[in-house]
Structure 1
Amino acid sequence: MNTILNTTRTLMVLALMVAPTMVQAQVEEQREAGFEVRREWMEQLRAYPFGEYTQNPVYAARAAAFRAPARVTAGSASSIQVAPWRSVGPFGFQTSGFYGSSPNADGGRIRAIAIHPTNPSIVYAGSASGGVWRTNNGGATWTPLTDNQCSLNTGTIAIDPVNPNIVYVGTGEPTQSNGCGLLRSFDGGTTWTEINGAGVLAPVNGTQNTRAYRIRVAPSLAGTQNTSVVLYAANNGLHRSTNSGSAWTTVLTGFVSDVEFDPANDNIVWAARAGAGNNTNGVYRSTDRGASWTQVYSTGSTVQRISLAVSPTTPNSVWAVEVVSARMDKLVRLDGASATPTVLTAQGVYGAQSRLDFGSQGTYDLVLEVDPQDANTVIVGGSRMYRSRDGGQSFSVIAYDLHVDWHAFEYAPSDPNVIVGGCDGGVHASYDRGNSWVSRNTNIAVTQFYPGIAVHPTIPDFIAGGLQDNSSVWGFGSGFWTMSAPSGDGGWNAFSPTNSNVFWTTSYGTGFIVRVTRNPLGTSIAQTQRGFTSSDRKAFLSPMVIDPLNSTTLYYATYRLWRTTNEGVQWGVLTGDLTRGGGATITSLAVSPVDPRVIWVGTSDGNVQLSQDAGATFTLVSSALPLRAVTDIAPDAAVPGRAVITHSGTGSGHVYASDDFGANWTNLSGSLPDIPFNAVVMVPGTSRLFAAADVGIYESTDNGMSWSAANQGFPNARVLDLVYQAATGNLYASTYGRGLWATTIVTGASVLRGDVNADGFVNAFDASLAQQALVGVLPASAPNPMPRADANCNGTLDSGDVLSILQFAVGSASAALCVGKQQ
């Protein structure tokens, strides 16, 4: 007994205390995809077959999904979702390599930062598509504030400089995702009012393309809920409010990318108008708090974006950085009423190693700030961040050991030694004016997951998934995750059906496929690149799946299907073009779990193709389906001919099912909202379906005849994938902006908690089995560990269960625990 106890304790300590290390083999680091490629992929799936997609799906769906009773369609069925959704992170992750912050923790993309005027420990962070978060302790912990608001796409945040309980948020992420106008809070973010300015800030008809760049409050009139002057710069103009944001007028038309009040005299305001092809581009000046404007500096029609900065030490002056052809083209300082320009040489921003320069994504990542106490200290950021000590003439890189792509940079108003910045790697802070930096990515779960997440067959919350600009990562739920391959934008993932320590990961449209092997204790991984070189046209994220019964066979999709039968050592083309041609690609791929000869393929241009002979031949089975992009295919776990599919776009049905290998299809959409749907799950052995959309998750308990909203505890985030883990009854949902979520939808019969081997006793043997299941080395002959191994009844398998079983075995378990009880 003592030997077993000591061995189990040793295993547990190793699993908990040994930090994962990376062993790289034949894997080259990749840079992220260009943001235009990512945006095009996201929008074209939703637009097809039309030219563009500008609808904000919230207006079509949020009433049904979040703010109305659960029933979506009439019928006798009702939601039987067992538990509320819970966030499973990641709460920080490690992305090593030149573009990551290792050993500092990275996080999801942060677009905006605002710091309390008198307390630098209170910070608001606006994420690209995960809403607004607040910390009261300098980033040790964060709280989400806008999970159920009209949009989680965040562009800018402003705190009233006199009354910091008044907070303004501009929705719509610059260059990327639409918003819904202004969010305003009078209680520090506890409650919000949505304001579209009677169509000025955001059209009211649900068809819109507004994105916020900057909000500023006039200091001399600040502190009130009804008389403050607020300026709002967006891609549809510069807007002005004289009543603290309740009503708005447009004072400058066109794309206004920045606005700043003069710190010494807020009658003087500077604004920047940009946009390729606009002859009125340049810097504008107002002397009446933004009521009227005069152009004082012309940049020409090629400038794409301008960022501005002011400093209290140089009244009536402004710095402006100009972006042309997505590169930093010029840095100027404009002085006095005539805005006399001084061109600054900005040496050092380009010319070093390509991985250390400003980059060529200036329309996407752009930062400009001037030290509030030293006008000679200028900060400019793009891919990397740079500091000048001579007013902008020469620069040197700072924060070079942090993630790339900077979007936000703020000095604390009460202590300029404190700086908080936001980039594609989350929130980072400096407490010595930018000389050194620390990560503040603790529990701020704003990662942008792509489709193609995978969950371990038996271990709860052991998940692998691909992230925007943060590679593919793996982890054990709500904690610190680890990069599985340095792949820029991560893609599809798959677990081996026969080896619990092997999973596969991909990256954006390159054929970059990696076999990842964990050692038995999970303390290190080995990576082997198993991709192929191909000129095939590919989706931004190309589907990759593994044969559910044969771990050596994998499929990879471009516009045609590829296959390997020896774990990626060799790949061969299996088919011809399965799309309609043109620029279309395969967007969804599935192999039947009951008969792997049955392979389903869906394309970006609406084709559904089926093979019943392991890919030797394919038949088009989508003639009766809508002409919309196919986003997911879920084969039945018991019936080879049955599958459910989802469609993106609008103006059609979105969920369809076939029971006869696609010969006939039934529209299951009912009165589901007419918005893009991205994923579907069939719960084996039941009549339950779950479908995920750009807003919300929906459940059917009668094979799609009727639907309920299944969003208890879930944020208003775009859901791109769903995965069901049969061993635990857990359903996982990956979001583009709010990380990963889980809920238990199937609960089993009462079991003896802690009796992992189901022999009727709870002892150290059970603790050993629980520990083996936790680290992924449970023998194949062992019974399913869940829910028996959940000895503390928190719904997951974790180290606390091992400890609880050990305590019970020696007679010291707390009576409050469920271990040893039939439950």
Structure 2
Amino acid sequence: MGGRIDDIAGVDSNPYIYYVGSATGGVWKTTNNGTTFTPIFDTYSTASIGDIAIAPSNPDIVWVGTGEPNNRQSSSFGDGIYKSTDAGATFTRMGLADSQTIARIVIDPKDPNVVYVAVLGHLFGPNKERGVFKTTDGGKTWNNVKFIDENTGFTDLVMDASDNKTLYAASYQRRRTSWGFNGGGPGSGLWKTTDAGKTWTRIQGNGFPEGLLGRMGIDASRSNPNIVYAQIEVGASTGTGGEEQTLAGGASPTPTPSPSATPTGSPTPDPKKSGVWRSDDKGKTWRVVSTCFNAGGCTENNRPMYYSQIRVDPSNPENVFVGGLNFSRSTDGGKTFKSLQPGIAHSDHHACWIDPKNGKHLLIGNDGGLDVTYDQGDTWEFINTIVACQFYAVAADMRKPYYVYGGLQDNGSWGGPSQTRSNAGITNADWFRTGGGDGFYSQADPTDYNIVYSESQNGSMSRLDLRTGRSVSIRPRAAAARRGGGGGGGGGRRGQPQPGASPTPTPEPTQDPQAALAAAAAAAGFGGFGANFATTSNVVPAPSPGEQYRFYWNTPIVFSPHNSRILYVGGDRFFKSLDRGDTWTASADLTRHIDRNTFSIMGVKGNEPMASKNDGYTSYGYVVTIAESPMVPGILWAGTDDGNVQISRDGGASWTNVAKKVPVLSEKSGELYHITRVEPSHFDAATCYLSVDGHRFDDLKPYVYVTRDYGQTWTSVAGNLPEWGNVNVIREDPKNRNLLYAGT
């Protein structure tokens, strides 16, 4: 299964050869038009790819910029720029090690030693190594030819096809934090050089939008270089955390339906809104040609911090394509756009390559992988030969052969066998879907393998019986709330149920297993959003009227190691169920109760307007990791995203916060660091391991601790872990107390 694609680069002289960059899966190469792919970047120190460029004068020269430029809360960072002179067989790192995010690479078509790089820079903090960099000696040395400030980098770059000294560059001021996002500011803008980067002029006035600007995408026509398009984020958002809202009970709203395959675009474009701008004189004057005019029909720039990709047909400047939730096409120079989404297997589009010799041949990359068209988007084929899906979590049951379960970014939750009797081995048909949306924790009941628990974003949890296909929501509800899939994507069209056969021999069900699973999928909202309502709380005692629960993007849900009917879930508090999720008890709020509006991001107060304000964050303060001692029932640990470490020794009835005992959390600079894992020891009830992550505060050091006295004292066991690499998980071997595993 494919996963999020950040960039595609094809060889102009041979479109059967192209390279694909994945958000966390490295670089893939095909020489047979996608029939097979080879991973060519697995041996290097990062797998997060920002951009790929091939030298027009020598296709053996391939550049790779690392670090995903799509700005989401889970984006991974890179460690610089790499170069290959043997068509991807080997790569050498060529510098820009502290860039973290490289958004675009442009190679001079006349001289492959001249390369321009748009460095976006750190997502979670300020840094100096950002701006437009240039090399004239093939990467041996670099000059920062355009620097604005430590909060502003560059997110797009394009060269005039008729003049290699003329380039356009889009600057982007943005900052993500542990609690929010600010996606714009005075640093954002469009720039032009006509002397190969020696001097730059900011484009403003003459029809170019004014006021608060955010992310931009740019492209210049190859067939008519006078024509330049810009996809521009204009103005502030409502500041509600992107598409994910908090409703009563922490439920997520029903998303706006995808636009239909009909032309969209305002008949009277509003220059004060995000959309598409066009210049017919190389950037001297501009006019807005299409803007977002309603929430249900905006294809032009509906989530700019995550998309902002625009491409012009090399052979026809009137044919324009834009990425976004949907992939859309204009054939009238950007005045109207038609969504091509009904024919594409997945949504959320970040990459597009157009064959320079055949404008009807396009490759696009999205959260589900790679798609190709040979008729300019009228029909599409999904290329399912790249294995780059992104698992948030995996689990295995203990049957023989065992089954594996996992949840994927924007591709739902799945289960499948580790072995089959077929000579063909394990095929797609052996896998079955257990949940929709963005998949996270998915696991089988340890005592009944036919009961599978799954979740999607913001705590949308379900319990699926594989024998009958019946799925029920088990999300803790404070009051009347919609249940089913959570907000934020729904897994796209590829999220349609594909359950396969029941994974174990079972008694004959009352209906066909596949039909039962499909019906359950429809009821639970797999691949979309549920339409069922619960009118009463399932928390005992019932919460006060109007009380709400908060749930993290990937909410922890775990079994008690002593009784699989007991479930633990983290929200803003600790939830416990004794009946497999039918009813719950709730603790008090275990977080720091922080109002994120009291914080500023890049000098802007939290209650003031921002571009793409708080995108991806519904609120702040969640329990993000839970574990129970394997030694003694009722000894529970919980960690939060705002720096609390809580312990209960009475089954969750009462809690003690021991965060101030942890060295890094006792410091002012680290008190809000994210607790990534609590790991109680398998050998001693008083012992627990703890991993802490500071990368959301631009601190990449590893923090791992152990307590042997129920949290009263903590000692660092980070040892010789690399200084550059935050720790996401710590595990103790269940058979060898001296053996620890750390994931960075």
TM-score by length of 1: 0.63
- Structure 1 position 252 matched with structure 2 position 130: no
Gaps of at least 5 residues in structure 1 are 1-91, 93-106, 204-208, 223-227, 695-823
Gaps of at least 5 residues in structure 2 are 121-129, 174-182, 238-272, 419-425, 468-500, 504-512, 525-533, 540-546, 595-619, 666-672
- Structure 1 position 554 matched with structure 2 position 567: yes
Shift of 1:498: 1.2
Pick aligned residue for 1:521 from 502, 505, 513: 502
1:181 paired residue number:
80
Shift of 1:358: 4.5
- Structure 1 position 462 matched with structure 2 position 403: yes
Shift of 1:590: 1.2
Q: 1:124 to 1:476 in 2, by over 3 A?
A: farther
- Structure 1 position 427 matched with structure 2 position 326: no
Whole-Å separation in 1 of the counterparts to 2:82 and 2:383: 25
1:319 paired residue number:
229
- Structure 1 position 687 matched with structure 2 position 740: no
1:306 paired residue number:
216
Shift of 1:110: 0.7
2:40 paired residue number:
145
Whole-Å separation in 2 of the counterparts to 1:550 and 1:507: 24
Whole-Å separation in 2 of the counterparts to 1:132 and 1:283: 29
Matches within 5 A, 1:260-339: 260-275=158-173, 282-298=189-205, 299-325=209-235, 329-336=274-281, 339=284
Shift of 1:157: 0.9
- Structure 1 position 507 matched with structure 2 position 456: yes
Shift of 1:148: 3.2
Pick aligned residue for 1:218 from 83, 100, 108: 108
Whole-Å separation in 2 of the counterparts to 1:652 and 1:310: 41
Q: 1:634 to 1:301 in 2, by over 3 A?
A: same
- Does the 8 A contact of 1:420 with 1:430 survive in 2? yes
- Does the 8 A contact of 1:497 with 1:548 survive in 2? no
What code does the residue aligned with 1:333 have? R
Q: 1:210 to 1:606 in 2, by over 3 A?
A: closer
- Does the 8 A contact of 1:410 with 1:420 survive in 2? yes
State the SS of the aligned residue for 2:34: coil
Shift of 1:419: 1.1
Pick aligned residue for 2:558 from 530, 542, 545: 545
- Does the 8 A contact of 2:212 with 2:236 survive in 1? no
- Does the 8 A contact of 1:326 with 1:360 survive in 2? no
Q: In the comparison of the two structures, how many residue pairs are matched?
A: 567
Deviation digits for residues 722-771 of structure 1 (CA, Å, limit 9, x no counterpart): xxxxxxxxxxxxxxxxxxxxxxxxxxxxxxxxxxxxxxxxxxxxxxxxxx
Shift of 1:332: 2.3
**Computing the radius of gyration over CA atoms, which structure comes out larger, 1 or 2?**
1
State the SS of the aligned residue for 1:500: strand
- Does the 8 A contact of 1:278 with 1:300 survive in 2? no
Shift of 1:608: 3.5
Q: 1:248 to 1:393 in 2, by over 3 A?
A: same
2:51 paired residue number:
156
Whole-Å separation in 2 of the counterparts to 1:532 and 1:266: 65
- Structure 1 position 134 matched with structure 2 position 24: no
Q: 1:167 to 1:689 in 2, by over 3 A?
A: same
Shift of 1:282: 4.3
Shift of 1:541: 2.4
- Does the 8 A contact of 1:504 with 1:514 survive in 2? yes
State the SS of the aligned residue for 1:568: coil
1:41 paired residue number:
none
State the SS of the aligned residue for 2:448: coil
Matches within 5 A, 1:415-494: 415-442=358-385, 444-450=386-392, 452-459=393-400, 462-476=403-417, 480=428, 481-487=431-437, 489-494=438-443
Matches within 5 A, 1:760-779: none
- Does the 8 A contact of 1:496 with 1:503 survive in 2? yes
1:566 paired residue number:
579
- Does the 8 A contact of 2:131 with 2:147 survive in 1? yes
1:113 paired residue number:
8
Q: 1:453 to 1:258 in 2, by over 3 A?
A: same
State the SS of the aligned residue for 2:35: coil
Shift of 1:379: 0.9
Shift of 1:202: 4.3
What code does the residue aligned with 1:184 have? K
- Does the 8 A contact of 1:350 with 1:358 survive in 2? no
Whole-Å separation in 2 of the counterparts to 1:326 and 1:167: 38
Shift of 1:149: 2.4
Q: RCO (CA 8 Å, sep 6+): is it higher in 1 or 2?
A: 1
What code does the residue aligned with 1:578 have? L
What code does the residue aligned with 2:443 have? A
Shift of 1:616: 2.9
What code does the residue aligned with 1:484 have? T
State the SS of the aligned residue for 2:110: helix
Whole-Å separation in 2 of the counterparts to 1:643 and 1:121: 53
Q: 1:229 to 1:638 in 2, by over 3 A?
A: closer
Deviation digits for residues 124-147 of structure 1 (CA, Å, limit 9, x no counterpart): 111112222112222222222222
Moved more, 528-537 or 183-192: 528-537
Shift of 1:562: 1.2
Whole-Å separation in 2 of the counterparts to 1:261 and 1:673: 39
Whole-Å separation in 2 of the counterparts to 1:663 and 1:160: 59
Deviation digits for residues 690-740 of structure 1 (CA, Å, limit 9, x no counterpart): 32232xxxxxxxxxxxxxxxxxxxxxxxxxxxxxxxxxxxxxxxxxxxxxx
Whole-Å separation in 2 of the counterparts to 1:118 and 1:173: 28
Whole-Å separation in 1 of the counterparts to 2:56 and 2:356: 9
Whole-Å separation in 1 of the counterparts to 2:633 and 2:21: 45
Whole-Å separation in 2 of the counterparts to 1:620 and 1:307: 46
1:673 paired residue number:
722
- Does the 8 A contact of 1:466 with 1:493 survive in 2? yes
- Structure 1 position 237 matched with structure 2 position 147: no
Pick aligned residue for 1:601 from 633, 638, 649: 638
What code does the residue aligned with 2:589 have? D
Deviation digits for residues 153-197 of structure 1 (CA, Å, limit 9, x no counterpart): 22111101121110111222212443322111111112111122x
Whole-Å separation in 1 of the counterparts to 2:172 and 2:91: 31
Whole-Å separation in 2 of the counterparts to 1:306 and 1:184: 26
1:192 paired residue number:
91
Q: 1:561 to 1:274 in 2, by over 3 A?
A: closer
Whole-Å separation in 2 of the counterparts to 1:295 and 1:662: 55
2:323 paired residue number:
381
Deviation digits for residues 310-340 of structure 1 (CA, Å, limit 9, x no counterpart): 2232133211221124787232222235733
Pick aligned residue for 2:18 from 93, 109, 123: 123
Whole-Å separation in 2 of the counterparts to 1:547 and 1:474: 21
What code does the residue aligned with 2:193 have? S
Q: 1:159 to 1:679 in 2, by over 3 A?
A: same
Whole-Å separation in 2 of the counterparts to 1:420 and 1:129: 19
Whole-Å separation in 2 of the counterparts to 1:641 and 1:308: 57
Whole-Å separation in 2 of the counterparts to 1:571 and 1:388: 51
1:9 paired residue number:
none
TM-score by length of 2: 0.70
- Does the 8 A contact of 2:3 with 2:388 survive in 1? yes
- Does the 8 A contact of 1:125 with 1:133 survive in 2? yes
Whole-Å separation in 2 of the counterparts to 1:599 and 1:306: 47
What code does the residue aligned with 1:473 have? W
